[in-house]
Structure 1
Amino acid sequence: MTVLEMIDPATLTIDANVRADVQLDKAFLASIKEHGVIQPVVAHRGEDGGAHVLYGQRRTLAAVETKQSLIPVYVVDSLTEADRLAKQVVENDHRQALTDHDRAEAFHQLSLLGVSATQIARKTGAKKATVDSALKVRANDTATAALANGMTLEMAAVIEEFHGDEDAIVKLEQVADQNPQGFDHTAQRLRDDRTRAALIAEATAEVEAQGLTVVDEDVSYWDYKGAMARITDLRTSEGEPLTVEDADAAHIGWSYLGEVRVTYINTDWKAAGFTKPGAARSGKMTEEEKAERRTVIENNKAWDAATIVRIEFVQKLLKAKTTPKGALKFVAQSMGSHGYTVADGLSKHSGFAAELLGATDEYGALTAITSKATAKHETNVLAVVLAGFEKSLSRASWRNPSSTASHYLNQLAVWGYTLSDVETLITDHGNTETQETVNTETSSTNEAPTPGETFEDVRTGEEELIAEETGYADAS
């Protein structure tokens, strides 16, 4: 049963509320002071007989602040604590969007009451993945503090992901504060570094278990002239190849293909009586050459991380309800200027296009997507074109910038993608003309569809022109 009562706001009790920061801005207080509380607060009678606010914490506090004597209150039958909190989340989001911190705190309170993540999602209308992420963040003090300090839930979840790695957390906090647009790239780079370190540590343990010494110097570089040599470069006194058993050390590195590489070595092959066919290497690397090598290594790592972030962005772009602005024009211009790349998207990388659209890379996947009655044809065409461009990129792209790579990356930037530093080596080197510039320059002509036009719009326009021409011929 619900009863409308006029109650002194100072006598209302406000229990635990999902909103951590109650924002009583000047405009809101001025409105309450002048007009009073128009939308009734909702409360229930507690065991003490007092009215406890269910919904309307801000209105109640503003009424007290502006010294309102009475405000309208709907007094309802008591709700369970879990339902009360869940309904507050929904109500507060409708009235004034909750912060990620507020929402995480609400989910946490619900979980403490024994409500499962699935039930929380159902009660509040949140996605299950969001609830899971919020609960993980709330269970970690560092991530919770980051969330309270203004990080988004997604950023705080990354902080939780790197729990225990203080250096990584410091770096993430700095990026979040100084360059939030680059946060995803930094996070992925840290993930890659962590994975690489774990694999190298595993390989190191295996090598040491064989009784071999792990050396830091990579003898495979052209300028190495020390006493060590790879066993693959050595021969016995009889000219026979060496085996792993002839090694007494190993170098553990990271290959160009992104895999752990173990190089087995003999640390003093001359003393061991082995021979090394071919001329000895001579000359030392200059400091410039050493610096260039370090740059290549760092940029290759940065490129690997950026590739993951970039593909994730493209997948999200294609999941949107509508194709991005200017998509049709981008497809048309790509066909005209980068036809081989577009063709590769269909002939060589249709499986990857299906992956970008959320399916798996297998035979017939793209056919299944495009043949659906609900298929989004513009999006599917765009996915094929983007697949061709994405697959045209590699680690060599930043060292040899091309107009094709620049065209692709600049368009992604127009659609909201944040280019990493290594990707800007391509866009800064090549054609930096963005799709927005092209749109502006061609907007006065009728030769291409306007930005945002769909294939359906083009087809409709053609039909209208045909009808007009037919009508004109009949009138003549």
Structure 2
Amino acid sequence: MRTTIRAHETVNDGQATLRYVDPATLVVGANVRSDAQLDPEFVQSIKERGVREAIVAYADETGALVVLRGQRRTLAALETKCDVVPVLVEPKPDEPDRLVDQLGENDHRRALRAGDRVAAFEQLAAFGVTRAQIAKRTSTPRPVVDAALAVAGSEVARSAANRWDWLDIPKAAILAEFEDDREAVKELAVAAREGGFDHTVQRLRDARAEARAKAEAAAALTAVGVSVVERPDWSVERFMRLRMLKHGDAPLTVENHASCPGHAAYLTSDWVHPDESDEEEDSFDNGTEQEAVGPQARPEPYRVWVPEYLCMDAAAHGHVPRFGGHDSGTGRKKAADMNDTEREQARTQRRDVIDSNKAWESAEKVRRQWLRTFLQGRKAPTSAAAFIAGSLARTDFEVTQAVSGGNQLAHELLGLADQAPKFGRHSAAMVEVVGKASDSRAQMIALGLILAAYEEGTDRNCWRAGRDSIARYLRYLEANGYELSTVEKRACGEKPSAAATSPVPQPAAA
């Protein structure tokens, strides 16, 4: 709330005079800042609290007050229709002094650290100021206020916000989410400084969710008396999967092996495809039928942890291979027949495939969220027309497939998820949205249809498939502000580099 002060009230210290004047009477003089850049948050703060720091001006030969320092405050006061503003009237400087003073006022300012802002918001909350009021009175988005108070409640996040200048409040709040995982906090701090933060967050969240689901699956097995072990090293011959074993002439099953002392299971992830068998019987459509009401998009597949049963010492318990030879766990060269170097190479390759597949799944979530935000824009980037035309000219499989299939992902990314058409049908909802759009927005929708087509054509094999169409698509996203993850760069043809962990720098000594 502003305090009402009468215009022209003055205080004189012998060298300068403090006056309260109508900002409309001020003349904005020459300034080193060519663009005032009145951001909405700054204007809102002036509207809420008025000008709190005095504008500096001099009186010209006509008596008019010419602003020396405080150009943005003056313009914001005019925009928000302030009645009066404080003005410190000084003698007119010579031009070199004016330039030096204006440079110094802007150069020798240091923004608050995230930790300082967190502490201020915490104190406001302690004084009983609600989160909504904090947001309004400080011209801060409500999500940032919520994030700041989350940081205040986490010793790890608060300490990080106080130590590292590159850590903003939303990123510090993510650290609070992982405060019980010291290594994750270190990794996030490095990503906040060096890039890839969103991808790192998603990968850590996915890994945590996966570990939780795996623990639940293991607990369910343990509850029924099954020993749960880690995936065995198949080069050790005593470990063999039940489906590869028999006892006498009888193939081993979970049921007939349950009483064996070597009975155990390890967990492996498998994909579930909802409604896999619920295919449309008649995929032909002459375009005259009306689309069915309600969601039409096919449910997304998801991963679950399933047990693979084995015997921990098959030979000792009288079991023999069903098919002869040793079960290496692969269809390739048996692990037992490999030398140490070959086994290590096979382990490394397998680990790379597993890790890269998981990284792709995490990156997909980040990428699609970025696309949703990007496609909300009312005006397409200047490069859109060339990309759209190029995509149509290339007739890439992803584009033709999406057009013939109804481009379902485009509906989700453009906010029409519940009105996606069935396979092979046009979308009345999309046609209506395009028909009502301005030319600039229609171009953005057209870009969205093309981008969604490529996105729908991606899968977790892209990082090793080297498809030119997907590389072109990802590079276009990158050119428009999307930060590619390491695995997405591999899909663009970049070779993976050795993962070097960057140390988190310590704060400078006071």
Q: Report the CA distance between 1:163 and its aligned residue.
A: 1.9
Question: Superposition pairs for residues 114-263 of structure 1, below 5 Å?
Answer: 114-123=128-137, 126-148=140-162, 149-150=164-165, 151-177=167-193, 179=194, 181-218=195-232, 224=235, 226-239=237-250, 242-244=253-255, 246-247=257-258, 248-255=263-270, 258-263=303-308
Q: Report the CA distance between 1:3 and its aligned residue.
A: 2.8
Match of 1:355 among 412, 431, 438: 412
Question: Superposition pairs for residues 368-407 of structure 1, below 5 Å?
Answer: 368-372=429-433, 373-374=436-437, 376-407=441-472
Paired AA for residue 6 in structure 2: V
Q: Deviations over 1:357-400 (max 9, x none)?
A: 23425545964354143473222222221111112211211111
Q: Report the CA distance between 1:201 and its aligned residue.
A: 1.7
Q: SS at 2:464's partner residue?
A: coil
Question: Which 5+ residue runs of structure 2 have no aligned equivalent?
Answer: 14-30, 33-45, 57-84, 88-108, 272-301, 327-333, 496-510
Paired AA for residue 493 in structure 2: D
Structure 2 counterpart of 1:63: none
Q: Report the CA distance between 1:129 and its aligned residue.
A: 2.7
Structure 2 counterpart of 1:343: 400
Structure 2 counterpart of 1:427: 492
* TM-score, structure 1 as length reference: 0.65
Change in Cα spacing, 1:361 to 1:236, as seen in structure 2 (3 Å) is farther
CA–CA distance in 2 between the matches of 1:58 and 1:140?
A: 38
Match of 1:2 among 2, 5, 8: 5
Paired AA for residue 267 in structure 2: I
Q: Report the CA distance between 1:144 and its aligned residue.
A: 2.9
The 8 Å contact of residues 338 and 404 in structure 1, kept in 2 or not, is answered as no
Change in Cα spacing, 1:141 to 1:239, as seen in structure 2 (3 Å) is closer
Paired AA for residue 253 in structure 1: T
1:56 is the counterpart of 2:52: yes
Q: Report the CA distance between 1:125 and its aligned residue.
A: 5.1
1:266 is the counterpart of 2:311: yes
Change in Cα spacing, 1:118 to 1:195, as seen in structure 2 (3 Å) is same
CA–CA distance in 2 between the matches of 1:374 and 1:110?
A: 44
The 8 Å contact of residues 377 and 444 in structure 2, kept in 1 or not, is answered as no
Change in Cα spacing, 1:218 to 1:377, as seen in structure 2 (3 Å) is farther
Q: Report the CA distance between 1:407 and its aligned residue.
A: 0.7
The 8 Å contact of residues 188 and 308 in structure 1, kept in 2 or not, is answered as yes
Q: SS at 1:261's partner residue?
A: strand
Q: Report the CA distance between 1:251 and its aligned residue.
A: 0.7
The root-mean-square deviation of aligned C-alpha atoms, in Å, is 3.6
Q: SS at 2:461's partner residue?
A: helix
Structure 2 counterpart of 1:288: 345
Change in Cα spacing, 1:240 to 1:405, as seen in structure 2 (3 Å) is same
Q: Report the CA distance between 1:213 and its aligned residue.
A: 2.1
CA–CA distance in 1 between the matches of 2:154 and 2:12?
A: 40
Aligned residues: 356
CA–CA distance in 1 between the matches of 2:411 and 2:119?
A: 38
Q: SS at 2:448's partner residue?
A: helix
Q: SS at 1:194's partner residue?
A: helix
Question: Which 5+ residue runs of structure 1 have no aligned equivalent?
Answer: 10-26, 29-41, 43-52, 61-71, 75-94, 431-476
Higher helix share: 1
The 8 Å contact of residues 353 and 383 in structure 1, kept in 2 or not, is answered as yes
The 8 Å contact of residues 349 and 388 in structure 1, kept in 2 or not, is answered as no
Change in Cα spacing, 1:327 to 1:271, as seen in structure 2 (3 Å) is same
Change in Cα spacing, 1:165 to 1:370, as seen in structure 2 (3 Å) is farther
- Higher RCO (Cα < 8 Å, 6 or more apart): 2
Structure 1 counterpart of 2:70: none
Change in Cα spacing, 1:232 to 1:217, as seen in structure 2 (3 Å) is same
The 8 Å contact of residues 416 and 429 in structure 2, kept in 1 or not, is answered as no
Q: Report the CA distance between 1:104 and its aligned residue.
A: 4.3
* TM-score, structure 2 as length reference: 0.61
Change in Cα spacing, 1:59 to 1:138, as seen in structure 2 (3 Å) is farther
1:412 is the counterpart of 2:477: yes
Q: SS at 2:367's partner residue?
A: helix
CA–CA distance in 1 between the matches of 2:119 and 2:210?
A: 35
Q: SS at 1:298's partner residue?
A: helix
Structure 2 counterpart of 1:68: none
Q: Deviations over 1:65-116 (max 9, x none)?
A: xxxxxxx859xxxxxxxxxxxxxxxxxxxx9987755654554343223333
Change in Cα spacing, 1:260 to 1:385, as seen in structure 2 (3 Å) is same
The 8 Å contact of residues 240 and 314 in structure 2, kept in 1 or not, is answered as yes
Q: Report the CA distance between 1:316 and its aligned residue.
A: 1.6
Q: Report the CA distance between 1:276 and its aligned residue.
A: 3.2
The 8 Å contact of residues 317 and 324 in structure 1, kept in 2 or not, is answered as no
Change in Cα spacing, 1:159 to 1:294, as seen in structure 2 (3 Å) is same
CA–CA distance in 2 between the matches of 1:360 and 1:309?
A: 18
Q: SS at 1:133's partner residue?
A: helix
Change in Cα spacing, 1:240 to 1:175, as seen in structure 2 (3 Å) is closer
Change in Cα spacing, 1:111 to 1:311, as seen in structure 2 (3 Å) is same
CA–CA distance in 2 between the matches of 1:8 and 1:147?
A: 43
Paired AA for residue 306 in structure 2: R
CA–CA distance in 1 between the matches of 2:12 and 2:219?
A: 72
Q: Report the CA distance between 1:334 and its aligned residue.
A: 0.9
Q: Report the CA distance between 1:271 and its aligned residue.
A: 4.3
Q: Report the CA distance between 1:245 and its aligned residue.
A: 5.8
Q: SS at 1:322's partner residue?
A: coil
The 8 Å contact of residues 6 and 73 in structure 1, kept in 2 or not, is answered as no
CA–CA distance in 2 between the matches of 1:337 and 1:136?
A: 49
CA–CA distance in 2 between the matches of 1:342 and 1:371?
A: 21
The 8 Å contact of residues 231 and 266 in structure 2, kept in 1 or not, is answered as yes
Q: Deviations over 1:139-190 (max 9, x none)?
A: 323323433432122211211221221111011112223x1x2111112111
The 8 Å contact of residues 234 and 277 in structure 1, kept in 2 or not, is answered as yes
